[in-house]
Copies of this chain bind each other. A is one copy, B any other.
Protein backbone atom coordinates (compact mmCIF):
# COMPACT_ATOMS: atom_id res chain seq x y z
CA UNK A 1 0.00 0.00 0.00
CA UNK A 2 1.54 3.26 -1.07
CA UNK A 3 0.38 6.64 0.17
CA UNK A 4 -1.45 8.32 -2.71
CA UNK A 5 -1.90 11.79 -1.27
CA UNK A 6 -2.62 12.51 2.33
CA UNK A 7 -5.65 14.56 3.20
CA UNK A 8 -5.31 17.47 5.59
CA UNK A 9 -6.40 15.41 8.61
CA UNK A 10 -4.13 12.53 7.72
CA UNK A 11 -1.19 14.91 7.29
CA UNK A 12 -1.86 16.56 10.63
CA UNK A 13 -2.02 13.25 12.48
CA UNK A 14 1.06 11.92 10.73
CA UNK A 15 2.97 15.09 11.52
CA UNK A 16 2.17 14.79 15.21
CA UNK A 17 3.34 11.18 15.25
CA UNK A 18 6.53 11.92 13.34
CA UNK A 19 7.52 14.71 15.69
CA UNK A 20 6.69 12.73 18.81
CA UNK A 21 9.44 11.14 20.88
CA UNK A 22 7.48 7.95 21.31
CA UNK A 23 4.15 6.29 20.68
CA UNK A 24 0.97 8.26 21.26
CA UNK A 25 -2.57 7.20 22.04
CA UNK A 26 -5.38 8.37 19.76
CA UNK A 27 -6.70 10.64 22.48
CA UNK A 28 -3.29 12.21 23.05
CA UNK A 29 -3.11 12.95 19.34
CA UNK A 30 -6.57 14.45 19.55
CA UNK A 31 -5.48 16.79 22.33
CA UNK A 32 -2.46 17.89 20.33
CA UNK A 33 -4.67 18.77 17.39
CA UNK A 34 -7.42 20.71 19.16
CA UNK A 35 -5.84 23.96 18.01
CA UNK A 36 -6.01 22.77 14.40
CA UNK A 37 -9.73 22.22 14.74
CA UNK A 38 -9.94 18.59 15.83
CA UNK A 39 -12.93 18.02 18.08
CA UNK A 40 -13.74 14.29 18.10
CA UNK A 41 -11.91 10.96 18.40
CA UNK A 42 -13.23 9.79 15.05
CA UNK A 43 -11.23 12.43 13.25
CA UNK A 44 -8.10 10.84 14.65
CA UNK A 45 -9.17 7.23 14.23
CA UNK A 46 -10.21 7.75 10.63
CA UNK A 47 -6.88 9.33 9.79
CA UNK A 48 -5.00 6.59 11.62
CA UNK A 49 -6.90 3.93 9.72
CA UNK A 50 -5.62 5.31 6.44
CA UNK A 51 -2.09 5.88 7.69
CA UNK A 52 -1.97 2.26 8.84
CA UNK A 53 -3.16 1.19 5.39
CA UNK A 54 -0.45 3.27 3.75
CA UNK A 55 2.08 1.61 6.03
CA UNK A 56 3.50 4.86 7.36
CA UNK A 57 2.20 4.30 10.87
CA UNK A 58 2.23 1.25 13.12
CA UNK A 59 -0.13 0.31 15.89
CA UNK A 60 1.32 -1.04 19.14
CA UNK A 61 -1.30 -3.50 20.33
CA UNK A 62 0.07 -3.99 23.80
CA UNK A 63 -0.11 -0.31 24.72
CA UNK A 64 -2.99 0.90 22.54
CA UNK A 65 -0.78 3.45 20.86
CA UNK A 66 0.50 4.50 17.48
CA UNK A 67 3.93 5.34 16.16
CA UNK A 68 5.34 6.64 12.88
CA UNK A 69 7.22 4.04 10.88
CA UNK A 70 10.93 4.23 11.60
CA UNK A 71 11.87 3.15 8.10
CA UNK A 72 10.25 5.65 5.79
CA UNK A 73 10.57 4.86 2.14
CA UNK A 74 11.32 1.19 2.68
CA UNK A 75 7.66 0.23 2.69
CA UNK A 76 7.33 -1.87 5.80
CA UNK A 77 4.96 -4.23 4.07
CA UNK A 78 7.83 -5.43 1.93
CA UNK A 79 10.40 -6.24 4.54
CA UNK A 80 8.38 -8.80 6.42
CA UNK A 81 7.13 -8.85 9.96
CA UNK A 82 7.82 -5.76 12.00
CA UNK A 83 8.87 -6.12 15.61
CA UNK A 84 9.01 -3.53 18.36
CA UNK A 85 10.92 -3.12 21.58
CA UNK A 86 9.06 -0.77 23.88
CA UNK A 87 10.72 0.80 26.91
CA UNK A 88 8.18 0.96 29.71
CA UNK A 89 10.26 3.55 31.48
CA UNK A 90 10.93 6.24 28.88
CA UNK A 91 8.41 5.20 26.24
CA UNK A 92 10.97 4.95 23.48
CA UNK A 93 10.26 2.42 20.76
CA UNK A 94 12.76 0.61 18.58
CA UNK A 95 11.38 -0.90 15.39
CA UNK A 96 13.28 -3.78 13.89
CA UNK A 97 12.98 -6.71 11.55
CA UNK A 98 14.45 -10.19 11.70
CA UNK A 99 14.11 -12.38 8.68
CA UNK A 100 14.91 -15.54 10.61
CA UNK A 101 12.03 -14.85 13.00
CA UNK A 102 9.75 -14.22 10.02
CA UNK A 103 10.94 -17.42 8.47
CA UNK A 104 10.30 -19.53 11.57
CA UNK A 105 6.86 -18.07 12.19
CA UNK A 106 5.85 -18.40 8.55
CA UNK A 107 7.14 -21.97 8.60
CA UNK A 108 4.96 -22.79 11.56
CA UNK A 109 2.02 -21.10 9.90
CA UNK A 110 2.51 -23.15 6.75
CA UNK A 111 2.73 -26.37 8.71
CA UNK A 112 -0.62 -25.57 10.31
CA UNK A 113 -2.18 -24.34 7.09
CA UNK A 114 -2.96 -21.19 8.99
CA UNK A 115 -3.44 -18.11 6.83
CA UNK A 116 -1.81 -15.11 8.52
CA UNK A 117 -3.26 -11.65 8.09
CA UNK A 118 -1.44 -9.52 10.64
CA UNK A 119 1.34 -10.45 13.01
CA UNK A 120 2.30 -8.64 16.19
CA UNK A 121 5.67 -8.88 17.90
CA UNK A 122 6.19 -6.55 20.82
CA UNK A 123 8.84 -6.76 23.53
CA UNK A 124 8.11 -4.61 26.55
CA UNK A 125 10.90 -3.94 28.97
CA UNK A 126 13.62 -1.44 29.73
CA UNK A 127 15.98 0.16 27.22
CA UNK A 128 19.69 0.45 27.79
CA UNK A 129 19.54 4.08 28.84
CA UNK A 130 16.84 3.34 31.40
CA UNK A 131 18.47 0.24 32.86
CA UNK A 132 18.91 0.63 36.60
Contact = CB atoms under 8 A, between A and B. Distances in A.
Interface in A19-73: 61-62
Interface in A80-107: 83, 85, 87-88, 94, 96, 98, 100-101, 104-105
The quantity of this chain's copies bound in the complex is 2
Given A98-B108, A100-B104, A101-B105, A125 B116 contact: yes
B131 A113 contact: yes
Interface of A: 61-62, 83, 85, 87-88, 94, 96, 98, 100-101, 104-105, 108-109, 112-128, 131
25 contacts: A61-B62, A62-B120, A83-B105, A83-B108, A85-B108, A85-B112, A88-B117, A94-B114, A98-B104, A98-B108, A101-B101, A105-B121, A109-B123, A109-B125, A112-B127, A115-B126, A116-B124, A116-B125, A117-B125, A118-B125, A119-B121, A119-B122, A119-B123, A120-B122, A121-B121
B118 A120 contact: no
